[in-house]
Amino acid sequence: MASLSLKNVCKVYPNGFEAVKDFNLDVADKEFIIFVGPSGCGKSTTLRMIAGLEEISSGDLIIDGKVMNDVEPKDRDIAMVFQNYALYPHMTVFDNMAFGLKLRKVPKDEIKAKVEEAARILDLEKLLDRKPKALSGGQRQRVAMGRAIVRNPKVFLMDEPLSNLDAKLRVQMRSEIASLHNRLGATIIYVTHDQTEAMTLGTRIVVLKDGVIMQVDSPQKLYNEP
Ligand code: ADP
Ligand code: ADP
C-alpha cells in the first residue's frame, strides 16, 4: 500500500537545537519498522515530521514516489496513535472514531459503516455511546487504534501506544496489533522502549541516539547475535 523514504532529513527546532541529523531510511510496503533509543533521541520528532505535525528543516519525505514535505497533515493519508491516546473527552467513542472522517467530509453513512466495522474488529461494539472517562485503559487504547484504522491510511505511526497499559493488557494488545498489521496490510512505524514488542512486531529495528541512526537491522540480528 505504501513505501516511504526519508532522505537526509534534519530537524532544527526554533531554539537552534538539532533533534534529527541526516536521517536516511527506506521503508518498504507493509513493513513494520520499530524505532528504539533513549528518551530525547528524536523518535517522536521523526514521527511528527512524517505526520506533518512538525516541519522538516531540510531533506525530503517521500511517500509512494511523491515528495510530501509541504502536504497538509490531513492530506497525507497517515494516521498516528499516541501514547496518551489523545481522545476527545467530551465526545463519545463513536464520535472520537468518526472525527477524522468528518474532518475529511466523508459521507455520513460511509462514516457509520467504517466506525462499526472498526468497532467489530476491536471489540468496541457495545461501547460506542460511552465517553472516554467511562472506559478502561485498554478500551481507550482500542478507540485510539479505531480512530486510526477507520481512515484506512497508507501509513500508521504509533508512538509508544502500549506504554500506559498494564503488563497483561500490553501482551494482549501486542498480539492485536500484530494481527491488525497482517489483516490491514499496513505500513507501520512504531516507537517503543519494550524489547519484546520490538522483537515480536518489528520487521526491522532502527536504533537512534542523539538524533542519529546508529543501526538498522532485523530483530533476530539485533538481539540474538553475541
Ligand atoms: P524522543 O521521542 O526520542 O524521546 P523527541 O523527538 O521528543 O525525542 O525529542 C528529541 C530532542 O528534541 C529532545 O532533546 C527534545 O528535548 C528536543 N525537542 C523536542 N521538541 C522540541 C522543541 N519544540 N523545541 C526544542 N527542542 C525540542
Ligand atoms: P485525525 O484523525 O485527523 O488524526 P485526530 O482526531 O486524531 O484527527 O486529532 C487531530 C488533532 O487533534 C491531533 O493533532 C490530535 O493530537 C489532536 N487531539 C486529539 N484529541 C485531542 C484532545 N482531546 N485535546 C486536544 N487535542 C486533541
pLDDT, tens digit only, all 226 positions of the chain: 689 999 999 999 999 999 999 999 999 999 999 999 999 999 999 999 999 999 999 999 999 999 999 999 988 989 998 887 789 999 999 999 999 899 889 999 999 999 999 998 888 999 999 999 999 888 998 899 899 989 888 899 999 988 888 888 888 888 888 988 988 888 999 999 888 999 999 999 999 999 999 999 999 898 876 5
What span, in angstroms and rounded, lies between the C-alpha atoms of 81 and 25? 21
CA of 159 to the centre of ligand 1 (A): 14
d(CA 131, CA 188): 28
Q: Which residue has the cell 484504522?
A: 149
Residue nearest to atom 13 of ligand 1 (CA): 40
The percent of the chain in helix, strand and coil, each rounded to the nearest 5, is 40, 25, 35
Q: What is the pTM of this model?
A: 0.84
Q: What is the ipTM of this complex?
A: 0.72
Q: Give the distance (Å) from ligand 2 centre to CA of residue 112.
A: 19
Asked whether 213 and 41 are in contact (CB, 8 A), the reply is no
